[in-house]
Chain A
Amino acid sequence: MYPSQLLKGTYQTIILKLLKEYNRMYGYEISQKVKEESAGKILLPEGSLYPILHKMAEEGLVRMEKVSIGKRVRRYYSLTSSGASEAKHKVEEFDRFVVTMQQLLAPKFSSQ
């Protein structure tokens, strides 16, 4: 399990990526999916998940629809078109970040 200091800036990217892939998800589903796909190595803290979702809803990156299931309401989130491009942008940015990090941290084989 990776420490949360390492992950903090990546939560939004992860959520955007998942929403792009699965189209429509509810909060609990997102947190379970992250756990599942990362084989338990990454845990999306519940305390961060929802503020991020609401912030993205305010910014127009995601839209929300309510479905009533029994006594409670399930709120499904999906990407808007600007959310989709943001997802693409974030993933690309992270890819570049990873490459840079690798360059930075890779053991240097001297070219001498």
Chain B
Amino acid sequence: MKLKGSQVEFIEEDLLRRGISFENLREDLVDHICSEVENRMESGTPFMDAYREAIRPFSARGMSQLNQEATTNLNTLTMLRSYFSLTMRNILKHKVFLVVNIAGLAIGMAACFIILQYVNYEWSFDKFHANSDSIYRITQKTEREDGSPFHTATAYLPIASVVKEEFPEVVDFNRLYFLDRHAVVSYEDRKFEQEAVLYADANFFEFFSYELTTGTASDVLQEVNSVALSETAALKYFDRSDPVGKIVKLTEEFNELTLLVTGVFKDPPPNSHLKPHMVVSMSSYENLPDTKENYWNWPFYMNYVQLRADADPKSLEAGLPDIVAKYFSEDEREKSALFLQPLEDIHLQSKLNYEIETNGDGTLVFLLLGVALLTLVIAYANYINLSTARSLERAKEVGIRKALGSRKSGLVKQFLIEAMLINSIAFIGAAALVQLSRYTFYEYAGLQAELFVFTGIWFWCGLLLLFLIGSVLSSLYPAFVLSSFQPIAALRGKLNYSLGGQQLRRTLVLFQFVASISLMIAAFAVYDQLQYMREKPLGMQIDNLLVVKGPRVMANEMETSEDPFITIVSRNRAVQNVSVSGSVPGIWTASAQNIVRQGSQVGKDVFFSIFGADHRFLETYELELLAGRNFKEGIDGSREAVILNESALLALGFDTPEDAINANIEARGLEMKIVGVIRDYHHFSLKEKINPMILFPIGNGSKEYYTVKVESIDGQFKSTISEIESNWKTIYPDNPFEYFFLNSAFDAQYAADLQFEKVFTAFSLLAVFIACLGLYGLASFVTMKRTKEIGIRKVLGSSVTGIVILLLMDFAKLILVAGLIAVPIAYLGVMDWQSTFAFKADLSPWLFVIPLVAVLSIALLTISIQTLRAAIVNPVDILKYD
């Protein structure tokens, strides 16, 4: 008589419950008992009786005793294999649990890794320098005339050298002058535009760790007029031929130098605040007569010092006032100060004037880190939730095993191994997800792809540590809750919904939804603010405007009354208007103070933005003239005429635009007449206030930008641009043709905010998704637990709808409470974030209601799928077994 498959399964399950966890033994016993049962059933004994008889000889001494005897002599490997196979059995039996757990953890981990890599990149800045931890930058603070502080990343040229002289703990120094505008480099008859040009002291390549491929670090910048090039720059100028020994000509804003190439260095790594492509010996610069004369007048130089390893930077900084007292001119001593800044902090902490590049935002990096960790915690909360929920189901098994003498440590081990296994699978899944999605994600978020610097052993150790802590923490709770069950209570089935877990699970779900709803609201608010900034009328028009950067090198003074470039470009049929100005919207303007209404002190303390513009400027940008007139055509004649905006009008104390017309203002003895007043417009992004602004008629020296208004005929842009370029070559043959579109340049001011928005949105959606995944698992479990209750309710006349609502209410209440907690948290966070913007979008209640309703509906939908299934089942199917 052969046993049926289900009977064999029954026997195996029962043995497992009785504590035969060692797989080899279990296989033996199943076969043994099956054979015995088969024997007995031959003679007509029913299955259950035969089974009871068959296991009697084993249970006499206790099954778990047997299990222990069979395993005491085993080596560790066999032991682990046994635990492993048992775990596989356990988790494969609950596929929903398995999939939900692993998917949630994998997604959470993957999100966390991606962000950790980004954070790691941002934190890695300038650490590649061998002495990065002992190098400091000296920054200088002065006062503007109105008493406001002006702190620059730069200082006077001799500062580092005198600091080294005065302080023994300073072992070395290096000074740089970084050209903030592009320079033109010519080799033979070809001209190239070159960015990232700097002058540096001779020890540059010893002081910093940029790697020379040709030339020795101590020699390359030793001589006057020597230059080292990056590999990219060298390739650009000389193609494949040997750069060393070649002569190039450098034309920058003020000087023209003939330089000998002495070395080539590897392109600077992206995680550096200083990314030079052309390094000229400082001696060539110090040779210039202007430089010497202005040693203590021009504060435009980066001063770096290296301290002895054991030196205290604080004590050095405390000595810096002595330098000021000793070397600064008398009227500067009072208001000047010098500071030290660690090299490694520059990228994320320094936001001074005259930085080399726009630095990163340390707070934002921390914020992202927080979001990433939150996502991970939400994922782990899922795990704990589902494990404790499932633990109730296993309470009976555990009760029996404990009653039969299983030791607590064995049980804890079992759960830890289960957690490790699930975590490992999730970890591998996460690695695969990162691999698959990282480039998509970085492209989406506009982050640099090269930030995958997988270097640094601590990064990997950190990940490993995170993984270990995560799996241990997430398994400890379920493990101890389960193994501490009182066998009697567990066997009586008294654990359900009372002990261990119910309260914790509610708290965890609550936490998950507080976190994900807050993130969602924040993402909504960020989107809303950016949308507001992009949609609010700017008071000008910025479309179809092509901006050409003005000439650096003028062949000769072109003092004609009409600008030749404008004349020639205007002939183009597609060109509607051309204007020349000292600034265009979105671009830095000079600012000046001490401008007053004639005969008074009104406006003295105000900073005015000032730049030159021609008579076509207002028309090109469609700025509205409120009173008075535009500039007259031609450069000469009305130099003393100025046009104000409304804010300037207010600052100078005029009541109406009409009052101001023909009134005079004074600036340092110069007298100017107000000829026109324009309506305020947003020269800068809406992050900033509208400055008081003064326009003056442009002179030849300040032709920074040509704005060309072109007809918006699709597809013709290209040919129009190439025509304008050929015009440019005719008028300014010595200057490279550089242009940009004004609207995209203006929007570029929001680039960092857009990036933030995208990352934030992605992560809040992820958080909601993971939380719902957990909710799905939990709902399926709870529903399963309550199938009997559902069956009875249906028999007693409940409708399907009634039952679904009953089951939903439990979760709905929880999520609503989460919403109530999340709203004030999110509100405070959003207010704080918005405070950095000058123009804020109103926080409409919808910002809070929509995310809440969205999360609630997604969550309820998730649960409904489960509950509906349970509610539809015919009660007979459920109840017939009892």
Are A58 and B74 CB-contacts (below 8 A) given A28-B36, A71-B8?
yes
Q: Is the CB of B31 within 8 A of A50?
A: no
List residues of chain A with CB within 8 A of the CB of B29.
50
Q: Is the CB of A47 within 8 A of B24?
A: no
Nearest CB on B from A36, distance (A):
13
Nearest CB on A from B492, distance (A):
29
Nearest CB on B from A33, distance (A):
13
Q: Is the CB of B27 within 8 A of A54?
A: no
Are A46 and B57 CB-contacts (below 8 A) given A27-B28, A66-B27, A72-B30?
yes
| A74 interface contact, C-beta 8 A | yes
List residues of chain A with CB within 8 A of the CB of B78.
58
List residues of chain B with CB within 8 A of the CB of A55.
73
Query: Given the complex of chains A and B, what is the CA–CA distance between A66 and B30 in angstroms?
Result: 13
Within 8 A of B (CB), among A49-106: 50-51, 53-55, 58, 66, 69-75
Query: Given the complex of chains A and B, what is the CA–CA distance between A109 and B332 in angstroms?
Result: 131
Within 8 A of A (CB), among B54-106: 57-58, 60-61, 66, 69-70, 73-75, 78
Q: Is the CB of A51 within 8 A of B70?
A: yes
Nearest CB on B from A67, distance (A):
10
Q: Which of A31, A45, A54 contacts B70 (CB 8 A)?
A: A54
Q: Is the CB of A26 within 8 A of B31?
A: yes
Are A45 and B28 CB-contacts (below 8 A) given A51-B70, A58-B75?
no
Q: Which residue of B lies closest to A66 (CB)?
A: B27
Query: Given the complex of chains A and B, what is the CA–CA distance between A47 and B70 in angstroms?
Result: 10
Q: Is the CB of A70 within 8 A of B8?
A: yes
Q: Is the interface of B mostly helix, strand, loop or mixed?
A: helix
| B571 interface contact, C-beta 8 A | no
Query: Given the complex of chains A and B, what is the CA–CA distance between A26 and B32 in angstroms?
Result: 8
List residues of chain A with CB within 8 A of the CB of B27.
66, 72-73, 75
How large, as a class, is the contact surface on chain A? Answer: 20 to 34
Q: Would you give the 0/1 interface string for A1-38, flagging 1 where the beta carbon is closer than 8 Å to chain B?
A: 00000000000000000000000001110010000000
Q: Is the CB of A71 within 8 A of B28?
A: no
List residues of chain B with CB within 8 A of the CB of A26.
31
Q: Is the CB of B70 within 8 A of A46?
A: no
Q: Which residue of B lies closest to A26 (CB)?
A: B31
List residues of chain A with CB within 8 A of the CB of B74.
54, 58
Q: Which of B60, B70, B75 contacts A50 (CB 8 A)?
A: B70
List residues of chain B with CB within 8 A of the CB of A58.
73-75, 78
Query: Given the complex of chains A and B, what is the CA–CA distance between A73 and B28 in angstroms?
Result: 8
29 contacts between A and B (CB under 8 A): A27-B28, A28-B31, A28-B32, A28-B35, A31-B32, A45-B57, A46-B32, A46-B58, A47-B57, A47-B66, A50-B28, A50-B32, A50-B66, A51-B69, A51-B70, A53-B28, A54-B70, A58-B73, A58-B74, A58-B78, A69-B31, A70-B2, A70-B8, A71-B4, A71-B5, A71-B9, A72-B12, A72-B27, A75-B24
Give chain B's interface residues, CB within 8 Å of chain A. 2-5, 8-9, 12, 24-25, 27-32, 34-36, 57-58, 60-61, 66, 69-70, 73-75, 78
Give chain A's interface residues, CB within 8 Å of chain B. 26-28, 31, 45-47, 50-51, 53-55, 58, 66, 69-75
Given contact pairs A72-B31, A75-B28, a sample of 15 additional A-B residue pairs in the complex whose CB atoms are under 8 Å apart: A27-B28, A28-B32, A28-B35, A28-B36, A50-B66, A51-B70, A54-B24, A55-B73, A58-B73, A58-B75, A58-B78, A66-B27, A73-B27, A75-B27, A75-B31
